């Protein structure tokens, strides 16, 4: 039996290559690796530059998609990196508030588009921008902190949680986007998480 997983995220779900441009091959992205395992049917809803939805049209777009996929087993949500890049002075606490508002609204949508047991919140991999500029070290720290905030949100809302900020994923020269090896490691870690859910 295969489980249908919808993966909603930003460029690291989409599979962007970073500075070199383009997109990793489908079978090299963590979503594609999971799909090719034969255990999961994976729908990749990654989009470059996506932040946590705060506009009504963004929320409705996702809700409408979920209504058209009533047989899905799990919705993974991995967002927050782009929010930190634009809200670095606000820090991870403000980004976490935005995530909690988004998830709460999603769970309270009528008719329900998903239940608590169908959501996996993933804290994104921690950036390593500090390699390029000492002033960016604060962003790297905020990204690591996001994992703790997201864990609290998941506990409060009774949804699944995974903290990819502590996974040993390899990032490219831009310090944000996963390499092919990074996607492979991410997929292996995800397999462990999913084995505990299903």
> What 3 state SS string does 93-118 have?
HHHHHHHHHHHHHHHHCCCCCCCHHH
Is a pLDDT exceeding 70 seen at residue 132?
A: no
pLDDT of 43-91, one tens digit each?
999 999 999 998 899 999 999 999 999 899 999 999 999 998 887 566 8
| Residue-level pLDDT at 90 | 64
Angle between helical axes of 56-67 and 91-108 (0-180°, round to 10): 50
Find the mean pLDDT for residues 127-139.
73
pLDDT of 3-29, one tens digit each?
999 999 999 999 999 888 899 999 999
Give the 3-state secondary structure of 58-94. Answer: HHHHHHHHHHCCCCCCEEEEECCHHHHHHCCCCHHHH
Q: Which are the contacts of 111, defined by CB distance < 8 A and separation ≥ 6?
A: none
| Residue-level pLDDT at 23 | 97
- How many Cβ atoms sit within 10 Å of the Cβ of residue 192? 9
Which of 5, 158, 141 is CA-nearest to residue 73? 5
Handedness of CA 85, 109, 116, 8 (dihedral sign): negative
Q: pLDDT class for 194, splitting at 50, 70, 90?
A: very high
Q: pLDDT class for 134, splitting at 50, 70, 90?
A: low
Which of 33, 44, 30, 42 is CA-nearest to residue 3? 42
| Residue-level pLDDT at 88 | 59
Q: Point out which residues pair with 162 in neighbouring strands.
A: 122
Total-model pTM: 0.96
Q: pLDDT class for 133, splitting at 50, 70, 90?
A: low
| Residue-level pLDDT at 20 | 81
Handedness of CA 165, 169, 172, 173 (dihedral sign): positive
Q: Point out which residues pair with 178 in neighbouring strands.
A: 171
| Residue-level pLDDT at 8 | 98
């Amino acid at each position: 039996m295969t489980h249908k997983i919808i993966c909603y995220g930003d460029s690291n779900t989409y599979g962007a290559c970073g500075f070199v441009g383009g997109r990793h091959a489908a079978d090299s992205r963590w979503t594609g690796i999971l799909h090719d395992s034969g255990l999961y049917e994976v729908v990749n809803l990654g989009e470059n530059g996506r932040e946590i939805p705060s506009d009504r049209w963004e929320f409705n777009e996702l809700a409408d998609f979920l209504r058209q996929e009533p047989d899905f087993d799990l919705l993974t949500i991995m967002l927050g990196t782009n929010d930190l890049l634009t809200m670095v002075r606000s820090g991870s606490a403000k980004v976490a508030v935005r995530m909690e508002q988004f998830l709460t609204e999603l769970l309270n949508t009528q008719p329900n588009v998903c239940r608590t047991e169908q959501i996996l919140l993933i804290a994104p991999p921690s950036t390593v921008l500090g390699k390029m500029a000492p002033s960016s070290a604060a962003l790297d720290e905020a990204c690591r902190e996001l994992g703790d905030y997201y864990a609290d949100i998941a506990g409060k809302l009774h949804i699944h949680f995974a903290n990819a900020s502590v996974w040993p994923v390899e990032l490219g020269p831009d310090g944000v986007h996963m390499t092919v090896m990074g996607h492979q490691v991410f997929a292996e870690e995800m397999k462990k998480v999913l084995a505990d859910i299903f």
